[in-house]
Structure 1
Amino acid sequence: MEERISRQFEKGKMTGVIWQCDGIRIGHSISTFTELTSFASKSASSDVVRMHFGVKGDYMFSYKQLNTTFDLVGGHHNIMYSKEFDMVVYNKTLELETFGVQFPKDIFIQFTQNASEGLKRFSDQIIAGKSAILSNNWGAIDSNIQQVLNQIIHCKYSDQLKKLFLLSKSIELLVLCADGCGYSENKTELFIKSKADKEKIIAVRDLINERVHCPPNLSEISRYVGLNEYKLKKGFKETFNNTVFGYLTDQRLTLARQYLLDSQQTAAEIALQLGYATPQHFNNAFKKKFGITPYSVRNNP
């Protein structure tokens, strides 16, 4: 089931889409505001586990059941549970993009009770009926998570095939989210300690995403965000567990795969469009990442 949704705020509006499959609810929304403001969000008697992804935009929200306020920059994720929730959201940018997956409690426990130690502890708290969050340190949306989010948002399947696809992708996101939160929990922040620097590193990621076709070099990125190249490279690796070049490569190849599936462009045309020096260079990079050639994707999607 797919449903388009919209909501008016006093100083803005939200539009989005919700997909439902086997009790799992998946949602993507974009909210735009005329000025910085706040709005309430609440739900009663919705005994679900919420996987939340802040894709773009900065905001703060107070979560009554967790007795906590989170101050977040774009590109974060975590998993939370409470029998109901009362939140007040304070937007700090004029556009917010979010993505969420809600698992019925029994389904989530079935998936996670014998998984990683972190998920098992979280699952035990849910079984005990306690409000809980998977990690106090929010994970970063890396290229793998971004790829799955894009696959769901731009899914071309329909009917039962789409249902299977969304179910598989919701479980994939659960695995990636748990892994990312585990990495965030255990990493030592040596280079990016202040919120201002975190915002700059997220701005680096956003700039790369916006300019995959004509990527900026490190000097240009450094000037754009106001970080020296050394701190930029080290801070990006610390945040996303990937180099700047590695992240760019992942994004280019993921986009190339989408072009192969959704367009009639040849592999050579796509290679040129994404800035590869030669079709062979593109072919080699694609095979290294996905294990198959661009030709194989188009003929065996």
Structure 2
Amino acid sequence: MVPADHDGEEFHLSHDLVAIAERIWDAGPTPGVTQTYRLAKSIELLCDMVGAIQRGSLMPYHDQGSLSLGDARRLLEARRMIDEEWAEKLTLGQIARRCGLNRTKLSRGFRELYHCSVSEALADRRLLEARRQLLSTDLPIGVIGYRSGYSNNASFTRAFGRRFGVPPSDFRNAAPVAA
């Protein structure tokens, strides 16, 4: 996700982002320190918000359709689980149980909120990690594919090519060499 794609959009802030905003608001009365402190905290808040938007971990505030705020927060937890535990053997049932939703509500709500299925989000997260490993390691492509949840090279190569437009070997060969 690119932050510019969300111009004018409103989001529910996570507990951590609210805490930073409250520290900005509650800054003490010392004039010189307060201005510098507020500026630093504002930059921290902005950077954390951009990062959250890029990770897709902020929940849109506008029009949650049929979702209650509680369900939307459970779906946000499901997304966090995918982003953090992508290397695990996550199933729809496991994610649903851990987030306190049934499988149907998880599937429908996830599509409504994130415009993709749970399995698409998981596959995308794994492919992003595979791309990172192709750029930053010398691991064989087959090992990277296996670590990314693909049981054979052909399915990994096909999925990677669909996502990034080139096979993993061509992607690695075209990557700039770090000095």
Tell whether the structures are fold-level matches, with TM greater than 0.5.
yes
Q: Is the counterpart of residue 276 in structure 1 residue 150 in structure 2?
A: yes
Shift of 1:273: 1.1
Alignment of 1:56-67 (within 5 A): 57-60=15-18, 61=21
Report the counterpart of residue 55 of structure 2 in structure 1.
146
- Correspondences of 1:88-167 after superposition (within 5 Å): 99=48, 141=53, 145-146=54-55
What amino acid maps onto 1:244 in structure 2?
V
Give the match for residue 71 of structure 1.
none
Higher helix fraction (1 or 2): 2
The number of aligned residues is 146
Matched to 2:48, the amino acid is F
1:198 aligned to which of 72, 75, 89: 72
Give 1:189 deviation, angstroms.
2.8
Counterpart CA distance in 1 for 2:117 and 2:170 is: 28
TM-score, length-normalised on structure 2? 0.67
Percentage of identical aligned residues:
28
SS at match of 1:99: helix
The answer to whether the 8 A contact 2:17-2:48 is kept is no
Residue aligning to 2:33:
none
State the Cα deviation string for residues 25-55 of structure 1 (Å, max 9, x = none): xxxxxxxxxxxxxxxxxxxxxxxxxxx9999
1:232 maps to which of 98, 106, 121: 106
* Counterpart Cα distance in 1 of 2:12 and 2:130: 25
- Aligned position for 2:89: 215
1:151-188 Cα distance to aligned partner (Å, 9 max, x none): xxxxxxxxxxxxxxxxxxxxxxxxxxxxx97xx75xx5
Matched, 1:259 2:168: no
The runs of 5 or more residues in structure 1 that have no matched partner are 1-51, 65-85, 90-95, 102-139, 148-179
Counterpart CA distance in 1 for 2:144 and 2:151 is 11
Residue 286 of structure 1 and its aligned partner are, at CA, apart by 0.3
Equivalent residue for 2:28? none
Tell me, in whole angstroms, the C-alpha distance in 2 between the residues paired with 1:289 and 1:299.
Answer: 17
CA RMSD of aligned residues (A): 3.7
Evaluate the alpha carbon distance shift between residue 97 and residue 203 of structure 1 in structure 2; reply closer, same or farther with a 3 A threshold: farther
* 1:76 alignment partner in structure 2: none
Residue 58 of structure 1, CA deviation: 4.9
Secondary structure at 1:247 match in 2: helix
Contact 2:17 2:49 in 1 (8 A): no
Which one-letter code corresponds to 1:222 in the other structure?
A: A
Q: What is the TM-score with the length of structure 1 in the denominator?
A: 0.42
Q: Which has the higher contact order (CA 8 A, sep 6+)?
A: 2
SS in 1 for 2:116: coil
Distance 1:58 1:198, change over 3 A: farther
Partner Cα separation in structure 1 for residue 14 and residue 130 of structure 2: 23
Provide closer, same or farther for how the CA distance between residues 198 and 100 of structure 1 changes in structure 2, counting only shifts above 3 A: closer
Distance 1:224 1:198 in 2: 14
Query: d(CA) in 1 for partners of 2:144 and 2:98?
Result: 28
